[in-house]
Structure 1
Amino acid sequence: MPTTIHKPHAAAAIQTNPKFPHLPSLLFSAKLAHDATAAAMTKLCRKLVRWRLLERVSLVRHFFRFIWDRLFSCSSGTTPKRYRRLPSRSPPPATDGGSSPEQPTTSGAFDSDSDFDSADLVSLKISLLGDCQIGKTSFVIKYVGDEQERNSLQMSGINLMNKTLSIQNALISFCIWDVKGDSSSQDQLPLACKDAVAILFMFDLTSRRTLNSVVDWYTEARKWNQTAIPILIGTKFDDFVRLPPDLQWTVVSQARAYARVMKATLFFSSSIHNINVNKIFKFIAAKLFDIPWSVERNLTIGEPIIDF
């Protein structure tokens, strides 16, 4: 009868191999270190997931609280109403640099004796994207006013401000999302861009680095919203006009090239001197509601550029 030869198990062979007397203890130590590392990584991953979940829950809670406060202030009889019902006639004609009588007019006053119905209010979202310290917040404050700025809602990486317009017997509320532009705001881009009717891509006219960043902001925004009206805005025009003419020409040429690629209208603006601030939002309203209000192109170096 043939003799069966049993080969020793690998682990047993290692343990009994006299050439490696310390190998079993080394393997055991390595296994303990691996298990400890895996446990630490698992714990860290759980903390990260929990932290992100809590952050998003907090963001959603703040957002709905903001919406609830606005709705309550409009519907409650004991609190001042932010919005007033439009009269039955159309708003009076107004002019703003060649605009037609159909242009929108603002209605910032409270009307405590009107029987306001919240169903009359249409809320539209507008997002502002761009690097830090380029004047986005000053731009919004110039448009909405100091009172609305004091009532703004600040969340992680985002400022929310409102502006009410009366447009052809309709009451429109622009909910403006000002994305701060720092590292903390990157995670808020999907929320800021979703459902926006217009996205304002902004840069500092005196900093070409911020103009170059517009490409990245545009690329990221289009991942989450492909239908919003794109507008390219250069801020701090009052400082820009002090630059040498050849440098101004270079910036204008680059900005116009970017606007063509983005299929965006280009505006140069100044919050300090209120240059093209209101005109930009009137342009958005005209686009959204097919209002026959036109803006004249201006390509003169040294003047606030408008190109489309």
Structure 2
Amino acid sequence: FAQKCFTSISRKESPSGVSILRWYLKSLQKQFLACWIRRSSHLTGLSSTYIASPLCRCGNHDKDSLDLVVSKISLLGDGQIGKTSFLTKYCGRENGLEEFGMTEANLVDKTLCVKGAHISYSIWEVGGNNNIPAACKDSVAMLFMFDLACWCTLNSVIPWFQQAKKWNQTAIPVITGTKFDDFVQLDLQWTITSQTRAYAKALNAIVFFSSATYNVNVNKIFKFITAKLFNLPWNLERNLNVGEPIIDL
């Protein structure tokens, strides 16, 4: 699905002027992100305490643990869009990733505690077509990911969705934009946001814009999935303001 990305630059501006403007905009966005994170309200209902577990296969969990629920989540999208950084940010460590299948997929397990029950997520990061069947079968949620700074990766969401749906018709679909901290081109923010929301409406999916660098919406995505799966009360507000990390339910 990988395609070549093109970035348009106005002919009315000199290259040096464009570089200075982009540097200035990115500096402003970093300040905005810092402020946005500080003022982000604490959502209630679902415990925010996560317990990272050692890497283990689903079948290796203690079978006598009656309060352990094991579920699988798949991360799908083109290469070099930030899936591994996203997964590393959520799991909290790089050595939790296990590569297999000619480096076209990564697997990591993470256990969290919710209201006294332990939930173990087996998270598959997929970068190649060969591992789509194994990754998608029995998944409770599938994240269709794209790079906010590279428009063509958004266009790949539809083919990824079509391939995944061949193997799983019931998983919760989440369209996830990565690298929000690089999403600084004002002329593209409205276009990409509108197109993403249109895709989500057509696919009956949820939208999150995220940043692994600043941990924006990374944990919220998994909290949303957990609340949805286990019918837990959790107040998650939509954010449709262009230029901010979008959440469209």
Aligned residue identity for 1:302: G
Distance 1:207 1:266 in 2: 17
Q: After superposition, what is the alpha-carbon deviation per residue over 1:48-71, rounded to whole angstroms, capped at 9, x for unaligned?
A: xxxxxxxxxxxxxxxxxxxxxxxx
1:142 equivalent to 2:86? Answer no
Distance 1:152 1:132 in 2: 16
SS of the aligned residue for 1:210 comes to helix
Correspondence for 1:247: 188
Distance 1:208 1:152 in 2: 28
State the Cα distance separating 1:262 from its structure 2 match.
Answer: 1.0
Correspondence for 2:106: 159
Residue identity over aligned pairs, in percent, reads: 56
Correspondence list, 1:1-308, <5 A: 97-108=41-52, 117-146=64-93, 149-156=94-101, 157-180=104-127, 185-240=128-183, 242-244=184-186, 246-308=187-249
Correspondence for 2:20: none
Distance 1:218 1:101 in 2: 31
Distance 2:96 2:176 in 1: 25
Q: After superposition, what is the alpha-carbon deviation per residue over 1:193-215, rounded to whole angstroms, capped at 9, x for unaligned?
A: 00000000000001111000000
Tell me, yes or no, if the aligned pair for 2:53 and 2:110 is still in contact at 8 Å.
Answer: no
When you count strand as a share of all residues, which structure comes out higher? Answer: 2
State the Cα distance separating 1:152 from its structure 2 match.
Answer: 2.5
Q: What are structure 1's unaligned runs of at least 5 residues? A: 1-95
State the Cα distance separating 1:107 from its structure 2 match.
Answer: 1.9
Distance 1:307 1:230 in 2: 12
Q: Which has the larger radius of gyration?
A: 1
Q: After superposition, what is the alpha-carbon deviation per residue over 1:162-197, rounded to whole angstroms, capped at 9, x for unaligned?
A: 1111112210111100002xxxx2121111100000
When you count helix as a share of all residues, which structure comes out higher? Answer: 1
State the Cα distance separating 1:285 from its structure 2 match.
Answer: 0.2
Distance 1:103 1:171 in 2: 12
Distance 2:52 2:167 in 1: 32
Q: When the two structures are aligned, how many residues end up with a matched partner?
A: 201
Could you tell me the TM-score, scaled by structure 2's length? Answer: 0.77
Aligned residue identity for 1:97: S
State the Cα distance separating 1:103 from its structure 2 match.
Answer: 3.6
Larger RCO, structures 1/2 (Cα 8 Å, 6+ apart): 2
Distance 1:267 1:109 in 2: 25
Aligned residue identity for 2:106: N
Distance 1:109 1:306 in 2: 28
Q: What are structure 2's unaligned runs of at least 5 residues? A: 1-39, 55-61
Q: After superposition, what is the alpha-carbon deviation per residue over 1:34-85, rounded to whole angstroms, capped at 9, x for unaligned?
A: xxxxxxxxxxxxxxxxxxxxxxxxxxxxxxxxxxxxxxxxxxxxxxxxxxxx
State the Cα distance separating 1:104 from its structure 2 match.
Answer: 4.8
State the Cα distance separating 1:120 from its structure 2 match.
Answer: 3.4
Tell me, yes or no, if the aligned pair for 2:151 and 2:192 is still in contact at 8 Å.
Answer: yes
Distance 1:294 1:265 in 2: 15
State the Cα distance separating 1:108 from its structure 2 match.
Answer: 3.2
Could you tell me the TM-score, scaled by structure 1's length? Answer: 0.62
State the Cα distance separating 1:119 from its structure 2 match.
Answer: 4.1
